[in-house]
């Protein structure tokens, strides 16, 4: 390898490593904090690597009043959101990907504009409406507003996914005697399944991470982020660190699985190479 | 499906509309209705008369001007920082060196991390006995901890929030830009090389101009979200740094006044629309921008 090329390559790796460290070091530090014994959190100067690792901080967090309950609520809300979002969004994604019809562009534009709504604009009036409807402080209520927030992403992602499934295959199945629905279920759906799973995970993460609406719409049935946010000022530092780390883990886990589909969200119809 | 049922539903021509129906209903109930209700809450008194009292109350609040100031400051500091960082990352990954896809995955990691969690992550760095103070002390740079987060040092507290938010939300910009880079046709790049544009020249004269729509949509999306910054600030700085979304939260949650909270929400929406209009007007290229 020639000298300039070697230099160029070295610089590339140095740059990439620097950015990677910038991303990873804070995650590493919060992980360390969560396994540092509570009393060492306040030590001065605090060693980066604690004298011993312990589960006490994590245990304290998980056993704190309301945490396990809100964790259960978070998971249920995220699962409900996932089910609602796919049920509502995937058919629309399929329609936009498969048919050319009047109003298609208007629909796509409308969906994208909803992304610009501030969460406060949805959550505050919905809190008032939900009290009337008996949905205030319920998991379904939170799941519904999370669905509203995830819907634009779900429609965009599923459009991309269904565009990646060749139309010819479905048409072939129909010539061979399948109904339109049968062709969809037997041909398009299995091919779209991995992408739909990624869309589902992405929806799960949106709901799992959402805090503003969840806090506004609940009192007793808090989700985990809502519980942490409302108790934050009264909680010791080690509770907050453990909470921060705990909320981060599933996100990292899901990111690993959806990494191939990330670009569907923003690339529109462009398939990922 | 039964032929008669198909005729009745008009499936053959109306099928796409049936498929869209659930999302259109959903948008109606969960976007248009709250939008309408928020405007009603903000402008209508409990007796039903039109009023500007809630907006007056919002503006008269001592924290309002501070919240407005910090919200704008945050947006104009964070968004350019993120665009530059994400552009550097995207161009780096785009060279396609061995392992670039792995690095892209690492760079995109914070995409899955919530604003609340990011605030708490950076709290462990900036707190009084946190990692930054401990490292500075071990290196002999400081003798006692610096209060990065306190009412006395709002400047430093603001910087801490900027660093946390810069760290968390750069990944979104990165994904938009990488998607944009992938859409640039190989032919243009090859043509550019044939004509002698290599390295930085190719980036400057070919790649950047073609990436403009993606840069614009990243700019708009990030500005709109930056104006809504909320949980990072609350987790990291408590109420030291007031922001508009935070004030909406406090008015609803602590003062139990959904009228003023709605006034804040409507105000935020108005700023978002205003900023979008401003960008679209001055950057032109309307459709691509909103497309993202």
- Please give chain B's pLDDT, 292 residues, in tens: 566 666 665 566 788 999 999 999 999 999 999 999 999 999 999 888 999 999 999 999 999 999 999 999 999 999 999 999 999 999 999 888 889 989 999 999 999 999 999 999 999 999 988 999 999 998 989 988 999 999 999 999 999 999 999 999 999 999 999 988 988 888 888 888 888 777 788 888 888 888 988 898 899 989 999 999 999 999 999 889 999 999 999 999 888 899 999 999 999 999 999 998 888 888 765 444 444 4
Q: What is the pLDDT of residue A3?
A: 81
CA angle B38-B44-B48, nearest 5°? 130
Q: Which residues of B touch A223 (CB under 8 A)?
A: none
Contact A263 B124 (CB under 8 A): no
Spatial distance between the Cα atoms of B32 and B29, rounded to a whole number of angstroms: 6
Contact B129 A30 (CB under 8 A): no
Give the mean pLDDT of A140-160: 93
Interchain CB contact of B185 with A (< 8 Å): no
User: How many folded domains does chain A comprise?
Assistant: 1
Quote the radius of gyration of chain A (alpha carbons, Å): 23
Instruction: Establish if A33 belongs to a structural domain.
Output: no
Instruction: Establish if A199 belongs to a structural domain.
Output: yes
Q: Which residues of B touch A157 (CB under 8 A)?
A: none
Is the Cα torsion angle A74, A80, A83, A88 positive or negative in sign? negative
Spatial distance between the Cα atoms of B73 and B81, rounded to a whole number of angstroms: 12
Interchain CB contact of B238 with A (< 8 Å): yes
Q: What is the pLDDT of residue B33?
A: 94
ipTM of the complex in this document: 0.90
Reported confidence tier of residue A273, pLDDT bands at 50, 70, 90: very low
Instruction: Establish if A86 belongs to a structural domain.
Output: yes
Higher pLDDT, B219 or A254: B219
Arithmetic mean of pLDDT over chain A: 89
Across A112-121, A250-259, B12-21, B150-159, the highest mean pLDDT is recorded for B150-159
Contact B175 A265 (CB under 8 A): yes
Spatial distance between the Cα atoms of A74 and A142, rounded to a whole number of angstroms: 10
Three-state DSSP state, B14: helix
Q: Which residues of B touch A121 (CB under 8 A)?
A: 34-35, 38, 265-266, 268-269
The structure's pTM equals 0.90
Alpha-helix runs per DSSP H in chain B: 3-9, 11-27, 33-43, 53-60, 62-94, 100-108, 115-126, 131-138, 154-183, 186-194, 199-202, 208-226, 231-237, 244-253, 258-283, 286-291
Write A227-234 long-range contacts (CB < 8 A, 24+): A227/A66, A227/A67, A227/A70, A228/B116, A228/B120, A229/B116, A229/B231, A229/B234, A229/B235, A230/B253, A231/A66, A232/B234, A232/B235, A232/B238, A233/B238
Expressed as residue numbers, the domain containing A97 is: 65-267
Q: What is the CATH number of the domain that holds A162?
A: 1.10.3720.10
Contact B34 A268 (CB under 8 A): no
Interchain CB contact of A247 with B (< 8 Å): yes
Residues contacting B243, CB < 8 A, separation 6+: B67, B70, B71, B74, B229, B230, B233
Q: Which residue in A153, A189, A188 sits closest to A261, CA to CA?
A: A153
Interchain CB contact of A53 with B (< 8 Å): no
Interchain CB contact of A23 with B (< 8 Å): yes
Q: What is the pLDDT of residue A230?
A: 93
Contact A244 B121 (CB under 8 A): yes
Instruction: Establish if A95 belongs to a structural domain.
Output: yes
Higher pLDDT, A178 or A69: A69
Give the mean pLDDT of A56-60: 92
CA distance A126 to chain B (A): 6
Spatial distance between the Cα atoms of A195 and A261, rounded to a whole number of angstroms: 7
Measure the CA dihedral A9/B215/B161/A68, to 10°: -90
Q: What is the pLDDT of residue B8?
A: 61
Interchain CB contact of B160 with A (< 8 Å): no
Q: What is the pLDDT of residue A236?
A: 92
Q: Which residues of A touch B16 (CB under 8 A)?
A: 95, 98-99, 101, 104
CA distance B74 to chain A (A): 16
A185-231 pLDDT per residue, tens:
888 899 999 889 988 998 999 999 999 999 999 999 999 999 999 99
Q: Which residue in B172, B82, B157, B158 sits closest to B127, CA to CA?
A: B157
Instruction: Establish if A4 belongs to a structural domain.
Output: no
Q: Which residues of B touch A245 (CB under 8 A)?
A: 117, 121
């Amino acid at each position: 390898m020639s000298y300039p090329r070697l230099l160029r390559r070295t610089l590339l790796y140095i740059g990439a490593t620097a950015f990677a460290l910038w991303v990873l070091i804070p995650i590493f530090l919060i992980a360390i904090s969560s396994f540092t014994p509570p009393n060492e959190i306040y030590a001065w100067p605090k060693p980066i690597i604690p004298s011993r690792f312990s589960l006490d901080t994590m245990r304290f967090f998980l056993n704190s009043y309301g945490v396990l309950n809100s964790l259960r609520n978070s998971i249920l809300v995220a699962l409900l959101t996932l089910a609602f979002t796919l049920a509502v969004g995937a058919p629309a994604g399929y329609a936009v990907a498969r048919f050319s019809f009047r109003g298609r562009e208007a629909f796509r534009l409308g969906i994208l504009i909803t992304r610009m709504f501030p969460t406060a604009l949805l959550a505050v009036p919905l809190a008032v409406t939900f009290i009337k409807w008996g949905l205030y402080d319920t998991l379904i209520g939170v799941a519904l507003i999370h669905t509203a927030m995830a819907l634009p992403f779900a429609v965009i992602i599923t459009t991309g996914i269904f565009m990646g499934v060749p139309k010819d295959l479905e048409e072939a199945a129909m010539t061979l005697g399948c109904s339109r629905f049968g062709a969809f279920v037997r041909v398009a759906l299995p091919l779209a399944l991995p992408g739909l799973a990624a869309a589902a995970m992405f929806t799960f993460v949106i709901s799992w991470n959402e805090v503003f609406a969840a806090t506004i719409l609940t009192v007793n049935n808090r989700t985990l982020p809502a519980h942490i946010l409302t108790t934050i000022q009264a909680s010791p530092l080690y509770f907050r660190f453990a909470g921060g780390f705990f909320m981060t883990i599933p996100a990292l886990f899901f990111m690993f699985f959806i990494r191939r589909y990330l670009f569907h969200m923003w690339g529109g119809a462009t398939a990922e190479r | 499906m039964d032929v008669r049922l198909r005729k009745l539903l008009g499936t053959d021509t109306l099928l796409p509309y049936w498929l869209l129906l659930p999302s259109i209903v959903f948008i109606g109930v969960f976007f248009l209705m709250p939008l309408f209700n928020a405007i009603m809450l903000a402008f209508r008194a409990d007796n039903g008369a039109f009023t500007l009292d809630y907006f007056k109350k919002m503006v008269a609040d001592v924290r309002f001007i501070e919240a407005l100031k910090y919200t704008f400051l945050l947006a104009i500091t964070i968004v350019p920082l993120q665009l530059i960082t994400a552009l550097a990352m995207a161009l780096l990954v785009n060279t396609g060196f061995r392992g670039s896809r792995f690095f892209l995955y690492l760079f995109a990691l914070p995409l899955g991390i919530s604003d609340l969690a990011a605030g708490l992550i950076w709290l462990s760095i900036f707190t009084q006995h946190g990692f930054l103070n401990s490292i500075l002390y071990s290196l002999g740079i400081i003798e006692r901890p610096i209060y990065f987060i306190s009412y006395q040092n709002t400047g430093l507290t603001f910087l801490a929030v900027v660093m946390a938010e810069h760290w968390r939300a750069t990944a979104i910009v990165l994904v938009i830009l990488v998607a944009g880079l992938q859409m640039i046709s190989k032919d243009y790049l090859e043509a550019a090389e044939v004509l002698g544009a290599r390295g930085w020249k190719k980036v400057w004269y070919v790649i950047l101009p073609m990436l403009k729509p993606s840069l614009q949509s990243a700019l708009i999306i990030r500005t709109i979200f930056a104006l809504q910054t909320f949980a990072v600030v609350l987790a990291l700085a408590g109420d030291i740094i007031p922001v508009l979304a935070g004030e909406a939260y406090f008015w609803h949650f602590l003062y139990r006044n959904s009228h003023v909270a709605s006034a804040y929400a409507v105000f935020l929406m108005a700023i978002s629309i205003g900023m979008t209009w401003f960008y679209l007007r001055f950057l032109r290229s309307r459709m691509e921008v909103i497309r993202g």
